[in-house]
Chains A and B, each alone.
Chain A
Amino acid sequence: MAIELEDVWFSYPNGVEALRGISLTIREGEFVIIMGPNGAGKTTLVKTFNGLIRPTRGRVLVDGVDTKEATVAELSRNVGLVFQNPDHQLFCETVEEEIAFALKNFGFEEDEIRRRVDWALKTFGLEEYRDVSPLVLSGGEKKRVALASVLVWEPKYLVLDEPTLGQDYAQKERLKELVRGLMGDRAVVMVTHDVEFVADMRPRPRLILLSGGRLIADGRAEDILTDPECIDRARLVRPQVPEVLRALRSLGAPVRTDVLDVEEARDIILSILGAGTG
């Protein structure tokens, strides 16, 4: 079971070519990060997963079904997309209704809806806002409501577009924990710019880099994030740990640079200093 993109091209009506021949497969249980500069096509790409955008050329298959042959509602049962800006997603009068909305649409039983909504409110620390309008919440709280309202129907493929945007460090740490708890059978796909956040992710994700609508790298995060050429092409900021090691090497120290982990970097530095001072 997988989301499969076969040579996907997409142009917006204004002529902007947002995707140029993307082929990739995301399998159940995978953890995938998508990165790239603003305008690289990241959001367009994830919108092809649930049929919000249908390719101008090529095709997208979700568990073998061509997205051209299914409605967004049908596809969404398996592919849950959480938008970058919660204001584009939230519209109900209360947080409780917001979270129950999709469950009602998918025809869940009343009891089941109640059980799941209670779980979501509790899991996301939103119990006190049950009867409050989502629109009066803070940016971080709105993001949690948007996430809860998708997770509650347990989509097989969960896609998060820029969940770290504007979030502080503690909120990002909680998000990391939450995502870790969600993995398993489910695939989690996350669009983000946050290099250090990805560098700290466990388990280590698969990383896909986009630039100008093309896939420029697809591989293990530890390989791509420690390759300065890739990072620069994707207009990301180089992560600090491999940069320390690269700077050391340029000053003559015999060190590897394919390291993201702070602890591992410490061990490497201690060992060369031990050898040097003998």
Chain B
Amino acid sequence: MPIIEIEGLRFTYSGSKRPALDGIDLSIEKGEFVILTGPSGCGKTTLCRCLNGLIPHFYHGDFQGRVIVAGLDTREHEIWELAQHVGLVFQNPENQLFCLTVEADVAFGPENLGLPREEIRRRVDWALRATGMWELRLRAPHELSGGQQQRAAIAGVLAMEPDVLILDEPTSFLDPAGAADIIALVAKLCRGHGITVILAEHRLELVAPYADRMIVMEKGRIALNGSPEEVLTSERAVELGIGIPKVVRLHGLLASSGLRLPRTPLSPREMAELLTEVAGSWR
């Protein structure tokens, strides 16, 4: 059974004339790593908010269709209940950290669930270690770099032991090396702990090598949905104006010159290896 099932989802924010989501049907399996992309204003953030119940419980509007996450219909379950299954990490980590220490921030969610002390301890320790924040657990969030803050925010969500981790452009405020670290961490949580990941992101060269699936949205609808290779090489992706990674563009140029590779590379290393395979050897 899929971990996320969306049927006929339409949502229009109160006071808005145009629907932010205009007919979404989508099913995501447990353990998948899914990239969500598309031009600004395409509905990515709104979709993320629908997955953890912020819509319709916090943001109001006209909601049609169904969103089922870990077997729970989001309309019938409160945000705190859904938070035990779905964690949402936002763009700006500063907006998510408010305690005096990282550890207290990470403990905040499990404490609110009223769990026994030992269980809280166990979860907090696990989340701090899984995100590489153990050494920094007694630091104040405002003393940390942006990348460390974002790790702390992820740890806070992980301490709820969610099935699904949703990240809405989590690297926008980080420098490139900090961004690459966060993406590698998210991939580890997906592959190593079986957490389903839905990652909204513009910089596809950074995330494509890790993903099982790439979904491109446009005007509140799903325009493309497939493997990164399928999506990035489709003509529609170019029309939609998403940033095609340079290796994929290079692969396309080589193909039009008659050089076919066995598959579409998603990283420079992979491209070099495929070319070497085709050449036999470079002597």
Q: Which of B177, B253, B259 contacts A237 (CB 8 A)?
A: B177
- Size category of the B interface is 35 or more
Which residues 250-283 of B sit at the A interface, judged by CB distance below 8 A?
A: 250, 253-254, 257, 259, 267-269, 271-273, 275-276, 278-283
Total inter-chain residue pairs, C-beta < 8 Å:
130
Q: List 28 A-B contacts (CB under 8 A).
A: A37-B177, A37-B178, A138-B40, A138-B41, A166-B172, A168-B39, A195-B176, A235-B176, A235-B178, A236-B177, A240-B205, A240-B245, A240-B246, A240-B247, A243-B269, A244-B246, A244-B247, A247-B269, A252-B282, A253-B282, A262-B250, A266-B250, A269-B254, A270-B257, A272-B279, A273-B278, A276-B279, A276-B280
Does B36 interact with chain A (Cβ within 8 Å)? Answer: no
**B residues whose Cβ falls under 8 Å from a Cβ of A:** 38-41, 91, 145-146, 169, 172-180, 202, 205-206, 241-243, 245-247, 249-250, 253-254, 257, 259, 267-269, 271-273, 275-276, 278-283
Q: Which of B202, B246, B259, B272 contacts A168 (CB 8 A)?
A: B202
Total interface residues on A, using CB and 8 Å? 45
B40 and A140 contacting across the interface, CB-CB below 8 Å: yes
A169 and B242 contacting across the interface, CB-CB below 8 Å: yes
B145 and A39 contacting across the interface, CB-CB below 8 Å: yes
Does A193 interact with chain B (Cβ within 8 Å)? Answer: yes
Least CB distance, A40 to chain B, in whole angstroms: 9
A145 / chain B contacts, CB cutoff of 8 Å: none
Least CB distance, A24 to chain B, in whole angstroms: 21
Least CB distance, B148 to chain A, in whole angstroms: 11
Bound-state Cα–Cα, A195 to B268, Å: 15
Residue of A nearest to B257 (CB): A270
Bound-state Cα–Cα, A230 to B179, Å: 18
A262 and B246 contacting across the interface, CB-CB below 8 Å: yes
